[in-house]
Amino acid sequence: MALMGSQGSDRIDDLPDSRLGTLEYWEQVYKTEVENLKSHGEEGEIWFGTATERRVTRWIQKSLNPNDTCVVDLGCGNGHFCLSMAEISFENIFGLDYSNSAIELARSLSISKGITTVRYQVGDILNPDTLTALQADLIVDKGTFDAISLMHFPSIPPEYSSKTHFLGSQYTKGLLKLGKPSHTFIITSCNWTESELISIFDEHYSPIDRIPHPSYSFGGSSGSTVSTVVFKSK
């Protein structure tokens, strides 16, 4: 399915800096969730909720063969999405996060559910030297680029027009290291629209599909609070 064409020339405003863009914030969040899992059996938050996750997994289940697809969950957090992929018979699954506490939580949750087919690694998508070339067929981001977009950078190299342009470029370098030369990339965002995501990743990715989410109407306008775009590497 073809989507709207390249929009790489569109101006995109940067998101404001936030503590949600810091490793310290997420380390504390996941340390708390590790303790909650140990003490109360609480699994932690599912980003964007179970309904959004199901829509993404349904698209994957219809479109890709679990027997020959290597999946990377980028910014896996508690690993719930990885476990959902295992439940629909995918076996070659990697959960990646830059937070050691997140990986500890994800591993603990997998063990508690008796799922051994998921492998977890600590790695920073903005620092390709920390990443393993996993030869992924599919890379899934459910909120990670949203958090990255909130990072603070006091200075941006002059060759980049904005913080978003810079972060998108660095993030894409990590994607290209993780994936096969031809791979699928699915990103879900609550901070960026479909057209903005297409613009940000236009240099190395072509949009091939969208995963619709419930829309809202207000004041004569309509839209969705969540956007999911499916890309193919160029």
Q: What is the CATH number of domain 19-233?
A: 3.40.50.150
Burial grade of 130 (CB within 10 A; 0-12, 13-18, 19 or more) = middle
Report CA-CA distances (Å) from 125 to 72, 112, 132, 149. 12, 27, 10, 13
pLDDT in tens, 11-51: 689 999 999 999 999 999 999 999 999 888 888 788 788 99
For 112-131, the pLDDT digits (tens) are: 999 999 999 999 999 999 99
* Spatial separation of the C-alpha atoms in residues 29 and 147, rounded to whole Å: 13
The Cα 95–Cα 108 span in angstroms is 13
Token duo for residue 49? 């909720």
pLDDT band at 1 (very low <50, low <70, confident <90, very high): very low
What DSSP element (H or E) covers 12?
none
Tokens (6 digits) for 25 = 């914030």
Q: How confident is the model at residue 216 (pLDDT cuts 50, 70, 90)?
A: low
In order, the DSSP letters of 68-100 are G-EEEEET-TT-HHHHHHHHTT--EEEEEES-H
pLDDT for position 41: 82
Give the start-to-end residue ranges of the domains of the chain: 19-233
Q: Which helix (H) or strand (E) holds 223?
A: strand 221-224
pLDDT per residue over 82-117, tens digit each? 999 999 999 999 999 999 999 999 999 999 999 999
Torsion angle of alpha carbons 231, 125, 121, 80, nearest 10°? -50
Number of helices (H), then strands (E), in the chain: 7, 9
* Rounded average pLDDT over 63-69: 97
